[in-house]
Structure 1
Amino acid sequence: MGFSIRRDSVENRVNVERRCIESFKKHSHDKRHLSILMMGVDSISRNNMIRYMPKTRHFLHENLSALDFLGYNKVADNTFLNIVPMTTGKFVHELPWNTSLTGVSFDQFDFIWNKFSERGYRTLYSEDASYGQTFDYEKAGFKKPTADYFDRPLSLALEGMHDIWNTNHHCVHARPETDIYLEYTRRFVHKFKTSPYFSFTFITRLTHDEVSNTKKADDLYFRFLEGLSKESTLNNTILLFYSDHGIRFGKFRQTFIGKIEERLPFLFIILPQWFKEKYPEIYQNLKINQQRLTTPFDIFETLTHILNFYTYDIQNSKKRPGLSLFNPIPETRRCEDANILPHWCTCATQHVLSTRDQTVTKPTEQ
């Protein structure tokens, strides 16, 4: 499988490399770098990850020494509303975009991968299910490829070939669609494992509609992570493996635990061994933060910290909504401190109300 690599009709693979090499030399403060591999999966709560993906979870803990963030809480409703804070550090309503601008593309927005690209990182952006992609569903998407390696042309072509799909549109002939996009990402990170890169992959279709389909994803993600480990691909890479939210509809969502799980996706972070040894304080902070309230805004701030590792200004960062996970998150942090909208806060206490309480009776009287 080849890569779709052009930002425009002129730049080719050679020019991408030349630009990245020159830019990285200009901005680099250290020969050793941290590449970024962001792997997102749609609609899997942390608890459903535990229930349905035991092989993947065991490999993350036992083989990759993954940090497991128990207090990771979404900040808004759906994928788009949580991915935007993760990749721009802002709520959607803070951007120059709203629902009346569905015909306006996202090319003008300053996503985090653009910041890394400016510093000489090769960039990849990959999503499956072309009809429902984060910035395309009921939106205008990107008019130009948003990364050096961009697979939307592939996803559009696959979607248009109706006779190649089977198994409820989850397989291309005998191959799971998810596996195609995992392989696309694997080849990219393997090719550039000694070079700085920023890879953003988000996979939706298999797990979006059915909770039980999560078990079908287990072996696919296990083999993907196992392959990265065997190829020593992660020696210079920080891997963020996460979900956007739990299942948002259906009978399970109507239960109390379903409501809680919807708000608590999973987040794992894997660091190279050399980084943990060179920066033990950062590693210790990350371990502490596994037990703290964290959000997609914190992922953005952590990526910003990595990008500006030697010049990161903690005081200036306080003007932004997230906290870098490289620094200790306060144990007393509350939802309002973390910019979690009240409806999505899982810290709220539950109270049993009388049927005569005004909160109950007032809506029925109107």
Structure 2
Amino acid sequence: MFILLKKFFCSVFRTIFYKMTHTIRATKTRSDLTPSVLVLILLFVIIYYCGYRLRTGYKSNLELIDTRELLDVNLLMDFGATDENFVVHDSVCKIPRINPYSPDLAALQAPDVICGTKLQCTKPLVTKRFDNITNRYYLHINEEWKDLYLQEESTGLTCCFREIKNEASDEKLIGTPCFIFKQDFFVSLDVIGAIVNCMQRGDKKIIFMDAFSFIHKRNFSEETKNDTKIGVLLFGLDSLSQINLRRRMPKTYKYLKDNNHRWHELLGFNKLGYDAFPNLMALLTGRQLQQQETVYACKRGGMLDDCPFLWQQVSNMAMPTAYAADSRDDNTETLRFQHSPTDYYLQPFMRAVERRLRTDTFYITPEYCLGPRLAGSYVLDYAVDFAQIFAGLGGLGIFWVNSFSEQHVIPQMIDYAFAKYLRLLKSTQILENYVVILFSANGMLRGRLTNLNSGFYEERLPLLYISLPKTWKREHTALFQALELNRNRLVSPLDLHETIQHAIALGAGTTELHYTDCASCQSVLRPIKANRSCSDAGIDWFWCSCEPFVAKWCNSYESSLLLKALLTHMNGLLQQAGLLNGTCGVLSAHTLHSVYNSQKESDYFYVKFETSLKNVAFEAAFWYNKGAQKVLLDERKLNRLDYKVTGCVEHQSKLLRTLCVCL
């Protein structure tokens, strides 16, 4: 349809252009020429705008293929599907293969990010080291690089560190003294981290700053300490779809693809909730989305200490557990705990580093950085330490990186650093002692990616890779065969929960436990049947990629009526609560980004739009009575896509807090 309209407008434009050109050439004076030229320019602007609106307003299910060679298109397009047009294809579920390269994103280049200085990155003045004899960490001053930092060779050097302890509050940290240390200083066992400063002697100017976390080894099981166990490590990258992995992390994707005998990709991994929280809760508790509200009764004051997480089962099996995330404050923290939920917990360290390095740092750091490092590198370093120290003892570690989740144009430095960590997992034999799962909880939820033709799938198809130890290839060949088969099967976070339990039981030589609400969910280390529906995988049909909504024209008259009815309903809810009296603003339409109509329920719609009031964006699903032009809002599917400030209605219901744009 779009191609026919495009040809029609091109034909009309050529006719008008010919006639106007003929008129201009016949014109003899400048006074006669000017109106003709203005009319020609006006016609060109109108036709170009209409064509642009038609092109961007219509949403198709598949991206158009672009043949420009700015990226290795053949590499990016390799999803390994059994059908060249689908990543999952059977009689029940069809998920199309999406071209990760979009002309709309071609001009967006990854920003050049450098944390700290080149000298600090390549030749750090202080490093942490581990003594295998005493099982203790110590701080080592690299004397060979000292002169590179000092302004005068004869000047001495003073280094000190601030201790970070497990339950340290911000108030305690402020008053923590900086202890001067000498070469190869051994760190106390009750210290979980240290912030190091180095200065020229007699000068308070900081010439080096860094922070280090410590995992002090403890004995978990004396009875089986001579047995070799396989543990499970989860590396999570927030808001990264399998599509955007190929687009924005080409080095990481190339490494995974080149080692596909080791890293098995599951292309049918489909989220089951809006953002990271419900998906992580399903993965870590085994609860379906419909049952999570009752489970969340364990949530006290925003804290999840009393919730039944998977790591509690692992602790009961006398194996070590760890949880780390690079969120540094309450606004960005996905899972919040008042006390340490695992044996090893990074959050007190991250809060302390955020507080100190943002205050004391002697250079301006980009948003992705924390001190002289990428914020996510603290989490990845912690993961490597945990894995190396407890190799052969089993256990469970969850390591979550979300410091770049709001940016779909990922800096090249992050791509390079993460690929480097993947290579490190291999060189340090971590992959031989653990089942390693690389995943995301969801794709990008806001921004330009969600407005692409492929936006429906960008949100719903996060990445998922699984690596198994080579020793299992001899002992458990069927596991590898199952992963190959399940590459193009529909999979959910609940299946991943079952997979973790399966792997832990195999690695520890114990009986597999089952704590999942979904009776038809299963481990991906076993063959998953074909013709599997989203309900079989515990996925609500609204989030299901198998039966996507049909796209509608954003600039059609019907879509404008639909949005008008929705805004009338939303303002009506605010009016009924008495909040349009100067507390909250009246919502009006600015831009309609997308309209989708359910294939399952013809009167059910899903829209994304931006309001004129402070450019606040919403995502909403609702039932629409076309005849009466009335809307019934699906409150579970209403989301704000901005960082809302709702202090003016903090005591109101969740629905009203979402709707209200404080004046």
Q: Does 1:325 align with 2:524?
A: yes
- Aligned counterparts of 1:85 and 1:363: Cα–Cα separation in 2: 39
SS at match of 1:252: helix
Relative to structure 2, which stretch is displaced further, 332-341 or 185-194? 185-194
Q: CA deviation at 1:6?
A: 6.0
Aligned partner letter, 1:88? T
Q: CA deviation at 1:209?
A: 1.0
Decide which structure has greater helix share: 1
Q: Does 1:93 align with 2:293?
A: yes
Q: 1:93 to 1:23 in 2, by over 3 A?
A: farther
- Aligned counterparts of 2:490 and 2:355: Cα–Cα separation in 1: 42
Q: CA deviation at 1:317?
A: 7.1
Alignment identity in percent?
25
Match of 1:138 in 2: none
Q: CA deviation at 1:198?
A: 1.2
- With normalisation by structure 1, the TM-score equals 0.85
Q: CA deviation at 1:177?
A: 1.4
SS at match of 2:387: helix
Root-mean-square deviation over aligned CA pairs? 3.2
Q: CA deviation at 1:146?
A: 0.8
Task: Check the 8 A contact 1:124/1:199 in 2, yes or no.
Answer: yes
1:38 to 215, 230, 234: 234
Task: Check the 8 A contact 1:72/1:293 in 2, yes or no.
Answer: yes
Deviation track 1:316-342 (CA, whole Å, cap 9, x = no partner) reads 979646311121111111111111111
Q: Does 1:248 align with 2:445?
A: yes
Aligned partner letter, 2:333? Q
1:229 to 426, 431, 434: 426
Q: CA deviation at 1:22?
A: 3.7
1:192 to 385, 390, 396: 390
Q: CA deviation at 1:61?
A: 3.0
Aligned partner letter, 1:153? P
SS at match of 1:331: coil
Deviation track 1:127-154 (CA, whole Å, cap 9, x = no partner) reads 012221112xxxxx22220111111111
Task: Check the 8 A contact 1:238/1:272 in 2, yes or no.
Answer: yes
- Aligned counterparts of 2:337 and 2:627: Cα–Cα separation in 1: 43
Aligned partner letter, 1:67? H
Match of 2:638 in 1: none
- With normalisation by structure 2, the TM-score equals 0.49
Alignment of 1:96-245 (within 5 A): 96-97=296-297, 103=301, 105-131=303-329, 132-135=332-335, 141-161=336-356, 162-163=358-359, 164=361, 166-206=364-404, 208-213=405-410, 215-245=412-442
Q: CA deviation at 1:174?
A: 3.0
Q: 1:154 to 1:111 in 2, by over 3 A?
A: same
Deviation track 1:165-199 (CA, whole Å, cap 9, x = no partner) reads 74432213332112222112111212222322211
Q: CA deviation at 1:216?
A: 3.8
Match of 1:283 in 2: 480
Relative to structure 2, which stretch is displaced further, 161-170 or 240-249? 161-170
- Aligned counterparts of 2:476 and 2:528: Cα–Cα separation in 1: 17
Q: Gapped runs of 5+ residues in structure 2?
A: 1-127, 129-136, 138-162, 169-188, 192-214, 560-596, 604-623, 631-663
SS at match of 1:202: strand
- Aligned counterparts of 1:171 and 1:15: Cα–Cα separation in 2: 26
Deviation track 1:76-96 (CA, whole Å, cap 9, x = no partner) reads 100111000000000332414
Decide which structure has greater strand share: 2
Aligned partner letter, 1:93? E
- Aligned counterparts of 1:237 and 1:245: Cα–Cα separation in 2: 24
Bigger relative CO (Cα 8 Å, ≥ 6 apart): 1
Deviation track 1:79-123 (CA, whole Å, cap 9, x = no partner) reads 11100000000033241438xx56153122221111111112111
- Aligned counterparts of 2:481 and 2:524: Cα–Cα separation in 1: 10
Q: CA deviation at 1:34?
A: 1.7
Aligned partner letter, 1:362? K
Aligned partner letter, 1:296? P
Relative to structure 2, which stretch is displaced further, 213-222 or 184-193? 213-222
Q: Does 1:342 align with 2:541?
A: yes
Aligned partner letter, 2:252? T
- Aligned counterparts of 2:383 and 2:394: Cα–Cα separation in 1: 15
Deviation track 1:247-304 (CA, whole Å, cap 9, x = no partner) reads 1011321233012111000000001111122111121111111110001101111112
Match of 1:299 in 2: 496
